[in-house]
Amino acid sequence: MLRYLLRRLAYVAPIAVGVTLIVFLLVHIAPGDPISAILPDDASAEMVAEARREYGLDKPLPVQYGIWLWRAAQGELGTSIRSGRTVASELSMAVGNTFILAVASGLLACVFGVALGLVAGLARDRIADHVTSLVTLAGVSLPHYWVAILLVIVFAVENPWLPPLGIGPDTSDGWRPDWAHLQHLILPAIATALIPMAVIARTMRASVIEALDQDFVTTLHAKGLLPGRRLWHVLRNALPTTLAVTGLQLGNMLGGSVLVETVFAWPGTGFLLANAIFQRDLPVLQGTMLVLSLFFVVLNLAVDLLQSWADPRIRRA
């Protein structure tokens, strides 16, 4: 297992470096002088020259990348052009809020996805299966931002049961575990969870059917083993694949949260990113992307290790 871990790390490290390189280049593909994107519009010529030196922008690109990476490793991600606060402080708040949303929707997606997939797989080719399959097919084609709007229409506009916007009452900008904040969490969590749930259910159904078709399950059946024990065997064989897909979906879910958070004005990383783009606040854009993309790399690695732990055959491949 340790050997496998080291091998995976050796594989992931260059990817992580590549990911940071792309994030670094984001500012350089932006039209115009990168310095004008970092400084406020009314900056004086001396300020521009000084910033250019300070950021190392007078040096060749590879050196700039090195300097940027070194600063980023120490948590120095620059200053927001619009708010004047450091990118790191803007991010720390947003990351926490997105984390809450991700945990809530991740739980929803996992629990309902696995349950739906299991039901469909066990009821193969019966009504329950066809209905679930159609629902999950629809689920993978849903635009999340539209789902978010529909949820607002049904549960906040037509029936004013839940709040349509924000993370909490009034001007609350951080999540707290109380009833008012929980109400604000429900709609964004459902909107974010729906698509991953559908994908998880689809995968789960396929792997349950595959597991049921395996000879050893038939043998267990022939041996007259209790259904509960058979179910356990099916689950054990279906879980590694489902786990892998779940991990990937968590990544996609956070990708989709850019749009969902925008609809609900949920002050997380996605909302921060969208606002940074809208206001052309490139330091914030770069910092947010760096944090999010490195998080995906780590997430993928974690899923990989978890999967190899659940299914030792993968380690040898």
Partner 1 sequence: MSATVAMPAKAPGTGYWRGVGRRFARQPLAMAAAMVLLVVVLSAIGADWIAPADPFQTSVSRRLAAIGTPGRWLGGDELGRDMLSRLIHGGRVSLAMAIVPVAVALVIGGFLGVLAGYAGGAVNMAIMRVMDVFYAYPSILLAVAIAGALGPGMVNGMVALTLVFVAPIARVAESVTTQVRANDYVVAARLSGAPTSMILRRHVLNNVAGPVLVFAASQVSVSIIAASGLSFLGLGVSPPQADWGLMLSALRQALYVNPWVAALPGAAIFLCSMAVNIVSDGIRRAMELRR
Phi, psi of 125, rounded to the nearest 5 degrees: 65, 10
Could you say whether residue 91 binds partner 1 (CB under 8 A)? no
Tell me, what DSSP letter sits at residue 79? B
292 binds partner 1 (CB under 8 A): yes
Q: Does residue 145 bind partner 1 (CB under 8 A)?
A: yes
Contact between 222 and partner 1 per CB under 8 A: no
φ and ψ at 167, to 5 degrees?
-100, -20
Q: Which of 183, 16, 176, 178 shows the shortest CA–CA distance to 96?
A: 176
Toward partner 1, which CB reaches closer, 107 or 165?
165
Q: Is residue 256 a contact residue for partner 1 (CB under 8 A)?
A: yes
Assign 3-class secondary structure to 125-138: CCHHHHHHHHHHHH
Candidate segments 42-50, 152-160, 171-179, 233-241, binder of partner 1 by CB under 8 A: 152-160
The site for partner 1, by CB under 8 A, has a size of: 51
Report 2-61 residues binding partner 1 (CB under 8 A). 14-15, 18-19, 21-23, 26-27, 29-31
* Residue closest to 293 by CA, chosen among 82, 72, 119, 3: 72
> Exactly one of 44, 141, 159, 171 binds partner 1 (CB under 8 A); which one?
141
Give the burial class of 197: count Cβ atoms within 10 A of its Cβ; 0-12 exposed, 13-18 middle, 19 or more buried: buried
- CA dist 169 to 165, 183, 257, 271, Å? 9, 10, 21, 18
Residue ranges in 257-286 that form contacts with partner 1 under rule CB under 8 A: 258-259, 262-263, 273-274, 276-278, 280, 282, 285
Site for partner 1 in 164-183 (CB under 8 A): 164
SS3 state at 77: coil
Closer residue to partner 1 (CB): 67 or 277? 277
CA distance 270 to 135: 27
Task: Return the structure tokens found at 306.
Answer: 């978890």
Nearer to partner 1, 79 or 257 (CB): 257
Residues of the shown chain interacting with partner 1 in the complex, contacts defined by CB under 8 A:
14-15, 18-19, 21-23, 26-27, 29-31, 137-138, 140-146, 149-150, 152-153, 157-158, 164, 251-252, 254-256, 258-259, 262-263, 273-274, 276-278, 280, 282, 285, 289, 292-293, 296-297, 300
